[in-house]
Chains A and B, each alone.
Chain A
Amino acid sequence: DGGITQSPKYLFRKEGQNVTLSCEQNLNHDAMYWYRQDPGQGLRLIYYSQIVNDFQKGDIAEGYSVSREKKESFPLTVTSAQKNPTAFYLCASSIDAIYTFGSGTRLTVV
């Protein structure tokens, strides 16, 4: 079955640590996206990539970094510069404007 896999489902980070969230897709989609979701705030775009080896900042990129070395993979690193990282993170891929979402990673700072 084709789809998007996000791991881990739950992640705990200590203050000052970097953590990396995994996103893998086997849908052969060129475009991939990372969103952050906070209660009552909908989806906010962090980064997106339309093609391998290229990515663009979204609306809230500060404190985050990404890479797109393979078509299938678009990992997101939450750096220590992100002051309020506790949130639900969603990865998506798309073709012809139809998005497919992963099941999300809940990141908590402890």
Chain B
Amino acid sequence: AQSVTQPDIHITVSEGASLELRCNYSYGATPYLFWYVQSPGQGLQLLLKYFSGDTLVQGIKGFEAEFKRSQSSFNLRKPSVHWSDAAEYFCAVGARNAGNMLTFGGGTRLMVKP
């Protein structure tokens, strides 16, 4: 069975600073990988996804993520954070042989200092 770990429960960065949110997964084959963002009291919105091919994927709102098979990681990055990026971020992994079911990490809450 697949699993996802987001080691950082809370992260605070200053507006304009760079951001990296960590995600590690456990899965025997090449997984599907996703990052979602959730604003308070709202549903989850897809930021980006990796299925295959280029290991650096671009998403919406200026985010990108890099799949590193050797490290079983799929870290989310943004070069310059905006106050509106304050939210909770979820990494998820899906398995081709499990009906495309997703397993979600516990989430990382991002706070942005002015």
A and B form one complex: yes
List residues of A (84-110) whose CB comes within 8 Å of B's CBs: 88, 90, 92, 94, 96-104, 106
Shortest Cβ distance from A106 into chain B, in angstroms? Answer: 7
User: Could you say which residues of chain B place their CB within 8 Å of the CB of A41?
Assistant: 106
A50 touches B99 (CB 8 A): yes
**Residue of chain B at shortest CB distance from A99:** B102
A2 at interface (Cβ–Cβ under 8 A)? Answer: no
Contacts of A42 in B (CB 8 A): 90, 104-107
B11 proximal to A (CB < 8 A):
no
Residue from A31, A50, A96, A101 in contact with B44 in the complex, judged by beta carbons closer than 8 Å: A101
Instruction: Tell me if B94 and A97 are in contact (CB < 8 A).
Output: yes
What is the bound-complex CA distance between A97 and B46, given in angstroms? 12
Measured in the bound complex, the distance between the Cα atoms of B99 and A31 in whole Å is 10
Give the nearest-CB partner of B106 in chain A: A42
B43 at the interface (CB under 8 A from A): yes
Whether B100 is near chain A, meaning CB under 8 Å from some CB there, is yes
Q: Is B12 an interface residue (CB 8 A)?
A: no
Question: Of A6, A98, A102, A103, which one neighbours B49 at CB under 8 angstroms?
Answer: A98
> Chain B: residues with CB nearer than 8 A to chain A?
9, 32, 34, 36, 41-46, 49, 51, 90, 92, 94, 99-102, 104-107
**Can you list 23 pairs linking A and B with CB atoms under 8 Å apart?**
A4-B43, A31-B100, A41-B106, A48-B101, A90-B44, A92-B44, A94-B100, A97-B32, A97-B51, A97-B94, A97-B100, A99-B34, A99-B36, A99-B44, A99-B46, A99-B92, A101-B36, A101-B43, A101-B44, A101-B45, A102-B43, A104-B41, A104-B43
Query: Known pairs A6-B43, A48-B101, A97-B51. 6 more at Cβ < 8 A?
Result: A42-B105, A50-B99, A97-B32, A97-B94, A98-B46, A102-B43
